[in-house]
Amino acid sequence: MDKEKLLKQLQSLRLKLHEMAEARGSLTDPEVLAISEEADELIVALQQLEKSKYH
């Protein structure tokens, strides 16, 4: 996995998440939650990448 690519994807999702939450007026909207879950998956992937770097 490419760390820079993952970071760019995460930044893009963060912006999308913010825009969607503003537009929907809710952090519990199903589409907002789906984007949040996708961001969570990227964060986990980045953490695993960092962890493997030190082992």
Q: What is the largest CA-CA distance in the chain?
A: 43
Compute the distance between CA of residue 16 and CA of residue 10 in angstroms, rounded to an integer: 10
pLDDT at 54: 81
- Using an 8 Å Cβ cutoff, are 13 and 38 in contact? yes
Decide if pLDDT at 2 tops 70.
yes
Amino acid at 8: K
Structure confidence by residue, pLDDT tens digits, 3-45: 899 999 999 999 999 999 999 999 999 999 999 999 999 999 9
Q: What pLDDT does residue 53 have? A: 81
Residue ranges covered by each domain of the chain: 3-53
Task: Report if pTM > 0.85.
Answer: no
Element (H, E) at 47: helix 30-53
In the prediction, which pLDDT does 37 show? Answer: 97
**What's the pLDDT at 1?**
65
